Structure 1
Amino acid sequence: MSRHAQRSIRPMKGLAFIGVAAVLFAAVGIGWAAHNRRPINSLTSIVPLTEVAVGIDGPAPQTLDIRKTPGKELDQALLGNVYETLVGRDQDNNLVPSVAKGWDISKDGLTYTFDLHSDMRFSNGDAMDSSDVVYSLQQVINDSYVGAEDLTGIAQVRNPDTSTVVVTLSTPNPKLLRALSSRAGIVYDSNAKIDYAKQALGSGPFTLRTFEPGNSIKLVRNTLYWQQQSASSQVRLHYYDSADSMRSAMSDGEIQVAVLQPAESPSPYENNDKYNVTKGSGTVKVMLALNNGTNSIFSDERARKAARYILDTPSLVKSQPSASAPLGGPIGPLEPGYEDLNSLYPHNLSEGENDINYFSPAYLGSATFLVPEEYSDLGNQIAKQFAPTRFNLTMQVVNDATVRQRIGNGDYTMAITTMDGTDDAGQFADNKFGYQNGDTQQMYRNALATTNDADYQGALKTYAKAVSLDAAGAWLYNESSTVVTTKKVTGAPRNMTDQLLPLRDVLTK
């Protein structure tokens, strides 16, 4: 067996949890009765009283119930700040120790043994050990919390002692560790009695002080935190309904940190010497979806390849301030199985024209090009690149919901859309965008059947390259993760800030 942090994720159907309820409740109720309120060690250092205000461009949470309420807003505010997960993720989206300091995985991929840290506790003073992990997994699965669909194949969970948890699977799930680094892996206090809609109680570096639904959240330092104390004694999260209103708040000194939407340009801040602008990477991938359905010109592989050659992706990236890096396939740089595939279809207008000239004008017809309103400039750039060719584009700028609905209905030829999940390349094996290819579908099934991370990532690379070679879509770029701070702020997060916003190290000098 080998001990290491693996990169993996993906929901699977048909949850099997054989005999787990009895094992879970027995573990929680027997043997660890004395686990609650272990004596608290004295703090080894004194940390200063400081406050930082963070602005987020987006809707404010209406509830704090992270168990049952989907949406990235609660992940940003609570994951890694108030709640901790069994497995953690770093700023490059690699899996790292968290509540579990390490793990062993059997060669057949069916047994995961987690070795927990000792002397952990929740913010209310309750000790945290393996019984809380067992309880939490039981709650997630039996009560169908958000993320439960990712814990597929679990047959048994047991805790042979206070610092060990053993998870046994009926079938391999190479995405299990990544699932346990997200909501499905949150460790809850098995003895806590709180109103989760209005309260949050975890083992992270912060505790919840106040929550104003639809407005703000105030976090304060958890002085009982079992790891390094937070740099700031208090963090306030404010939410804004537009980029302009958040920028005004920043200018007026109401906030010291501004978290931009992935598609938002940082240029209004970049020429102001009052601010530092940090552009990291996100997991949002902007793509030109090609309708592979039988009624579309892009049902023909030659037409799809023509579109890939016509697109000058590097120029598009340069024209979009929010772009991080060009993409040549369905997996982004911060996702498992990433490989740079940009060289597969380099911009070659002559090659694209040769391919498209194979078709008669009547067969080509007119291509409906859907563009979400926030990507209208990008849409215009793409239309200009297709203008010299025999592609006859009719561009329609509509709202994002309409684009997604029409893609689902197959009512389009081309469309700008986003893939905004981590490890969501599997949608090309699920007939998304009308794409059907038995070979690539089998490649993805092979990836899901692997028993270790190295094989999983290798299989994903094989699958992603095949999908890209088949020109199932035209992936344009990875969007930035942009954070703006005043000059005195240090420790702000860099990557994936639309999903995770770790605030432990943020400090205003």
Structure 2
Amino acid sequence: MFASLSNLRRAALATIAALCLVISSACAGGTSSSSGSGGSTDIKIGLTAAPANLDMTQTSGAAIPQALMYNVYESLVKLNTDGKTIEPLLAEDWSVSDDGLTYTFNLRKDVAFSNGDKFDAQTVKFNLERLNSWTANTPSNLSAIDHVDVSSDYAAKVVLNKPDRNVLYWLAGPLGAMFDPNSVNSLKTKAIGTGPFLVKSYSVGSKMLLTRNAKYWGNKPFLENVQLTYYTDTTSCSNALLSGDIDTIYDFIAYDQLDQFKNNSNYSVRVGNAQGILVLSMNSQKGPFSNEKLRKAVMYAVNRKAIVDTVLNGYGTVLSAPTIPTDAWYSNVSSMYSFNQDKAKKLIKESGIDNPTIVFKVPSRSYAQSVSQLVKTQLEAVGFTVKLETEEFPAVWLKNTFNGKQYDMTVINHVEPRSVFNYGNSEYYWNYTNTAVSSAFEQARKSSTDEAFNTAMGNAVKQIQEDAPADWIYNPKLVVVSKSDVSGINKNDVGISLELSNIKRS
């Protein structure tokens, strides 16, 4: 869920990093390091957000699906690299009933799990009817699924209790992952999927090794071995690329170090769109931010452009609403809370709270640490007192802040697509509820046209923005830096997976 915060996801890390989960693969690939044309079939990719384990049904955050979705685990359908189009994957095709309540999926007949277990309509039924056992990755997004009827071995009818225009979209992500029914009791340490890669091993917080699935039902990937290496700081990650320890940095965020790669012909730098929203959440159910005027004071006190320029070196879009430019319902609403210190001071005075004090829980991610220092300075300039408290990410932050909701303010980059829907979930960590928003989301779900869907979504966004349960600071760009012989990495992040199947070496 969170990126690089998710997820989101990503004992304290210092403790668990010493642990090594060795995950057995049912079918390990070879170890060849070169292709017939002489290019390497191995790659080492640097990342800065590590999975706490391999179970995305119980562990929040984006790091697990980033590594496993479409690579190890597959879904009935997948999201195209444009982030909008739904394509077949384990389903050859599908149809929707006129009333929008039944989705019939015709499944591929040549698919098996990497341990040899069969994939069929009973597998689909098992997985989609156990979503209520998930505690992570917002299973409520597929709450419209009532049950699954098995028409034949390779035909599954997903029956809804109410129309939901989002069903295919959510089925294309982690919630739609097909797990082997015989392996769900060991999801934390074993990943048994139908995908083009197998998890060979994972040293928690350090390295994940994947190898080509020689028995994959689809087109075999070019890469034979993939090493995902996780770094706790961006400088170490950059140095690893310069020294040749890794071949690519996906989601490069050491922006002040980017020029050394842009000006070197041995590397390529690609900039694309991402789903992330840097969210400065304010707990509106307790503490100082139960006062709406203080939340709005924050909105005016934070200089978002200064943060984008300083933290991202300009590689991002200034926001002030929970929507990004690639959303069909996006409109430039950043002017609603333009930086205005006088307005912020006036709202603090109107709140009736002298010298409001905030406990700001900050995850131990480099971007979050940088943002928090700027926000602290900006808020104290208008009359807040801000106490920064760093929490180890992912373990401590997920336990205390995300799950325990023990915070006044926190900050994280939400990278999961359409995270705005979580503002309709009163149980979500930002502790927000508004019946008008829930109603707008419901209208979107049951809409029959794209126009009606986008209108309802726009209405929800406007109401959320008016209530200010958070400050949405920026939408970062995705920056991918690679050795010049690496190609095929999608420069646009759709918020689900770092898909490995299309990557090649020349």
TM-score (norm 1): 0.73
SS of match in other structure, 2:384: strand
Post-superposition Cα deviations, 1:178-213, rounded to whole Å, max 9, x if no partner, equal: 332223322345688996555433322223445555
1:398 equivalent in structure 2: 389
The reply on whether 1:265 has 2:254 as its aligned counterpart is yes
> Is residue 475 from structure 1 mapped to residue 472 from structure 2 by the alignment?
yes
> Secondary structure of 1:442's partner?
helix
- Distance (Å, rounded) in 2 between the aligned partners of 1:222 and 1:209: 11
Kept in 2, the 8 Å contact 1:76–1:497? The answer is: no
**Bigger CA drift: 283-292 or 83-92?**
283-292
Report the alpha carbon displacement of residue 116 of structure 1 after superposing the two structures with TM.
3.3
C-alpha RMSD of matched pairs (Å): 4.2
Aligned to 1:424: 419
Counterparts of 1:218-367 in structure 2, within 5 Å, are 218-260=209-251, 264-272=253-261, 273=264, 274-290=266-282, 292=284, 296=288, 299-300=291-292, 307-321=298-312, 324-333=316-325, 337-347=329-339, 349=340, 353=342, 356-357=345-346, 360=349, 363=352, 365-367=354-356
Superposition deviation, residue 443 in structure 1:
2.9
Residue by residue, what CA displacement relative to the aligned partner does 1:201-237 show, whole Å, maximum 9, x if unpaired? 3322223445555543332333443433212222222
Instruction: Say if 2:416 and 2:495, in contact at 8 Å, map to a contact too.
Output: no
* Distance in 2 separating the partners of 1:191 and 1:293: 42
- Residue 343 of structure 1 and its aligned partner are, at CA, apart by 3.6
Q: Which amino acid aligns with 1:463?
A: A
Equivalent runs, 1:42-441 vs 2, <5 Å: 50-59=41-50, 62=53, 64-65=54-55, 70-94=60-84, 95-117=86-108, 119-123=110-114, 128-138=119-129, 140-141=130-131, 144=134, 149-188=140-179, 199-212=190-203, 215-260=206-251, 264-272=253-261, 273=264, 274-290=266-282, 292=284, 296=288, 299-300=291-292, 307-321=298-312, 324-333=316-325, 337-347=329-339, 349=340, 353=342, 356-357=345-346, 360=349, 363=352, 365-369=354-358, 370=360, 372=362, 374=366, 375-382=368-375, 391-400=382-391, 412=408, 416-429=411-424, 430=426, 437-441=434-438
Residues 339 and 91 from structure 1, CA distance in 2 versus in 1: closer, same or farther, beyond 3 angstroms?
farther
CA contact (8 A) 1:447 1:460 kept: yes
Contact 1:286–1:477 under 8 Å retained in 2: yes
| Residues in 1 aligned to 2:500 and 2:128: alpha-carbon distance in whole angstroms | 26
Aligned position for 1:15: none
Secondary structure in 1 matching 2:245: coil
Q: Deviations over 1:387-415 (max 9, x none)?
A: 77xx3132322214798958977864x66
Q: Which residue is 1:462 aligned to?
A: 459
Q: Secondary structure at the match of 1:179?
A: helix
Q: Using a 3 Å threshold, how does the CA distance of structure 1 residues 271 and 310 change in structure 2: closer, same or farther?
A: same
Letter in 2 for 1:285: I
The structure having more radius of gyration, on CA atoms, is 1
Tell me how far apart the structure 2 counterparts of residues 455 and 71 of structure 1 sit (CA, whole Å). 31
Cα separation, 2, equivalents of 1:362 and 1:219: 54
Q: How does 1:442-461 map to 2 (within 5 A)?
A: 442-448=439-445, 450=447, 455-461=452-458
Counterparts of 1:21-60 in structure 2, within 5 Å, are 50-59=41-50
**Contact 1:481 1:497 (C-alpha < 8 Å) held by counterparts:** no
The Cα of 1:168 is off from its aligned counterpart by: 1.0
Question: What residue ranges of structure 1 are gaps of 5+ in the alignment?
Answer: 1-9, 11-44
Shift of 1:73: 3.5
Residue identity opposite 2:355 in structure 1? S
- Which stretch has the larger CA shift, 104-113 or 362-371? 362-371
Cα separation, partners in 2 of 1:317 and 1:141, compared to 1, 3 Å:
closer
The count of aligned residue pairs is 455
Which of 487, 501, 508 is 2:505 aligned to? 508
* % identical aligned pairs: 24
CA contact (8 A) 1:60 1:215 kept: no
Q: What SS class does the counterpart of residue 114 from structure 1 fall into?
A: strand
TM-score of the two chains, using structure 2 as the length reference: 0.73
Name structure 2 gaps, 5 residues minimum.
1-6, 8-34
CA separation in 1, counterparts of 2:146 and 2:96? 15
- Alpha carbons 1:122, 1:224 under 8 Å: kept: no
